[in-house]
Amino acid sequence: MTDSYILAGRFGAATRLSPKALRLYAEQGLLVPVHVDPQTGYRYYASAQAPRARLISRLRQLGLPIARVRQLLELTPEARVVELQSWLSAQNDRLADQAELVRALSRQAEGGEPALMATIGLREVPAAKVVSRQRQIGVEGLDDFIAAAEADIRTHLRTSGSACDGLMSVHFHDLVSRDSKGLVEVAIACAGKLEPAGDLLIRLQPAQREIYLPVPKAYENFPRVMHVYDALEAWLDAQSELSCAGSPCETYPGTQGARFDVAYPLI
C-alpha cells in the first residue's frame, strides 16, 4: 500500500468513526474502502476520503438516519446547509411541542388551571342546518384553511340568497399537530333551501348539550390555546355525572367578548 492509503483503524481514529460504524457505512455504500486485502481482509481508505467521513460522522451525530445522510451527501454544501437549517427549525418546533405536553401533564397533575376552569359554562345548543367543508390538515395550514373555507361558505350562502352571517364552528374530528394531519370541518349555520356546491356539504347538526370556555386573548394562538382544551378536559375528568360525547370544536364569535369559545359536546 502507498502512504496515501490508511488502515481502517487509523482512518477511523482520524475521522472519529468506530470500526462498527466504518463497516456499516461500507455496507451501505456511503464510505467504501478503496482497497481490501484479499489475504488478510484488511480494509484501506484513501486520505482524500477523510472529509466525507467527517461529514458523515457529524450528520450521524445529529441523529439523522442513514437514508437521510445519503440524500444530504449528494447536495452541494450550500444546499446542505439550507436543508439542515430547515430540519433544525422542525426539531425546535417538535421540542417546543414536547415541552408544552410536559407542562400540560404538570397542570393535569395539579388539577388544572383554576382561573380558566372558573369560566367554564354549560349550554344547550339547538339543532341547526349547516354548510361545511372538511379537509385533512396540519397545524401549519389550519388558519389558512379556516379562513378560505369561511369565505367560500359565506359567498355560497350569499349567492344562494340565504343569510350569510350565521355562527361558524370548527370541528376537530382527529388530532391535529405539527407531525400529523387530522380531519377538520368548518361549518356555518344556515336556513332555508340550499344546495351543496363542489366540496361544500350540507348536513344537520343535532341539538346537544356542551361545556364551553370563552378563550382569553392571551390564549388564542397555538400552543397556548391548548391550555384551554386542558382546562375543559380537567373539568370533565372531575365530573362523575358528565362525559364527552364527541369531537371538540371552536365557535366564532365567542361569548363574553371572546373571539371564540372552545366547546366539548356532552352525553
Architecture of domain 128-205: Alpha-Beta Barrel (3.20)
- pTM listed for this prediction: 0.67
* pLDDT at residue 145 tops 90: yes
* pLDDT at residue 3 tops 70: no
The SS3 of residue 237 is: helix
Virtual torsion, Cα 226, 229, 231, 235, nearest 10 deg? -160
- pLDDT tens digits along 55-76: 999 999 999 999 999 999 999 9
* pLDDT at residue 111 tops 70: no
Q: With bands split at pLDDT 50, 70 and 90, how would you rate the model's confidence at 112?
A: low
CATH no. for 5-74? 1.10.1660.10
The SS3 of residue 196 is: coil
Q: Output the pLDDT for position 180.
A: 81
Distance between CA 189 and CA 127 in Å, rounded?
10
Q: Output the pLDDT for position 141.
A: 92
Distance between CA 151 and CA 113 in Å, rounded?
35
Q: Output the pLDDT for position 217.
A: 95
Share of the chain above pLDDT 70, in %: 97
**Of 23-27, 104-108, 213-217, the least confident:** 104-108
Q: Output the pLDDT for position 81.
A: 96
Q: Output the pLDDT for position 223.
A: 78
Query: C-alpha cell of 239?
Result: 365530573
* pLDDT at residue 100 tops 80: no
Average pLDDT over residues 25-32: 94
Domain assignments of the chain as residue spans, ordered by start? 5-74, 128-205
Sequence-distant (≥ 6) Cβ neighbours of residue 24 within 8 angstroms: 66
Q: With bands split at pLDDT 50, 70 and 90, how would you rate the model's confidence at 113?
A: confident
Which one, of 261, 130, 150, lies nearest residue 205 by Cα? 130
Query: C-alpha cell of 116?
Result: 380558566
- pLDDT tens digits along 215-235: 999 999 877 888 899 899 889
Average pLDDT over residues 164-170: 93
Average pLDDT over residues 238-247: 86
Query: C-alpha cell of 13?
Result: 481514529
* pLDDT at residue 126 tops 80: yes
Q: Output the pLDDT for position 228.
A: 93
Q: Output the pLDDT for position 76.
A: 95
Q: Output the pLDDT for position 94.
A: 83
